[in-house]
Homo-oligomer: A and B are copies of this chain.
Amino acid sequence: MPHSSQQHAIRLFIRRLEGHSGLSDQDRQTLEGLPGSLVNMPAQCDFVHLGQPVDHVSLIVDGLVARFSQTEDGKRQILALGVPGDIADLSTAFLPAKISGLQALTRTTIFRIAHSRLREIAAGSRSLLEAFYRDCLADAAIGNQWLLNIGRRDSRSRIAHLLCETSMRYRRARQDHGFALPLTQLHLADALGLTPVHINRTLQTLRNAQLLRLGRGFVEILDWDMLAEIAEFNPSYLNDFAARMPAPAMC
């Protein structure tokens, strides 16, 4: 059912907005009626290329998306991870930016919404515009945390921090308890400013310390408290997204 899946994603997006902003019934209806098109991407597909101007945003229906940039010699840096219910590049609707691309990390389905549509509905509702504004600010807060993480922490803490953060955010989108992390070690490396080889070795030390278990595409955090301590993880920067979780009790 393609129609219901996009509806589901839009509702997740609405929930995300409501994590930091108040919406009217009218706003919710407007969002739910948003026209667009569903697109499927295979894993590892760069569906928005660096430097390529786009006229639509990508609402993530299912899967996992990386917003990235890269150096001229091809070294990639992931700037943000998008989970279902996120609009991976919401900011481009209001300030065109060609410095980042979008990559599907797993098989992913996207709901494309035209920039012009988003601007229209933002023009029609101040509360929606504010909600979009805050949504971008929330992303920026996460970006700031990444800057601290990459600039000032060693590989062990970096990985721990990303796992803690992703665990909380993913849990918000998908309400299951154990959490699936379909990130390859190469993706982790690109997100954390490290090499895949070093990610591998550091992951081993975390496993050996009984902090987590890894399967193909799965992570199970065995000792949340210890991991959070290594990461110096303080979820307050997630701006209440986490507060909206169903049954946390984990920090």
Q: Are B75 and A141 in contact (CB under 8 A)?
A: no
In the complex, chain B residues whose CB is within 8 Å of the CB of A138? 95
Interface membership of chain A positions 194-233, coded 1 if the CB is closer than 8 angstroms to chain B and 0 otherwise: 0000000000000000000000000000000000000010
Complex contacts, A133 vs chain B, CB 8 Å: 94, 129, 132-133, 136
Q: Among A7-15, A97-105, A178-186, which stretch is in contact with chain B?
A: A97-105
Q: Contact between B72 and A192 (Cβ–Cβ < 8 Å)?
A: no
A248 close to chain B: CB less than 8 A? no
Q: Could you say which of A72, A137, A193 has the most chain B C-beta atoms within 10 Å of its C-beta?
A: A137
Quick check: which of A30-38, A41-49, A147-155 contacts chain B, the rest being far away?
A147-155
- A211 vs B152: C-alpha distance in the bound complex, in angstroms? 28
What 0/1 readout, one digit per residue, does chain A (51-81) give for beta carbons within 8 Å of chain B?
0000000000000000001111001110100
Residue of B129, B130, B143 near A143 (CB, 8 A) is: B143
Given A97-B237, A129-B129, A237-B99, answer yes or no on A71-B232 (Cβ-Cβ < 8 Å): yes
Give chain B residues whose Cβ lies under 8 Å from the Cβ of A145: 69, 99
| A interface size (C-beta, 8 A) | 45
Are A95 and B137 interface neighbours, CB within 8 A?
yes
Nearest Cβ on chain B to A128's Cβ, whole angstroms: 11
Report if A140 contacts B (CB, 8 A). Answer: yes
Which of B134, B152, B236, B237 meets A75, CB within 8 Å? B152
Report yes or no: A77 in contact with B147, Cβ–Cβ below 8 A.
Answer: yes
Interface centre among A70, A75, A94 (most CB of B within 10 A): A94
List the interface of chain A (C-beta within 8 A of B): 20, 69-72, 75-77, 79, 91, 94-95, 97-100, 123, 126, 129-130, 132-134, 136-141, 143-148, 150-153, 192-193, 232, 236-237, 239
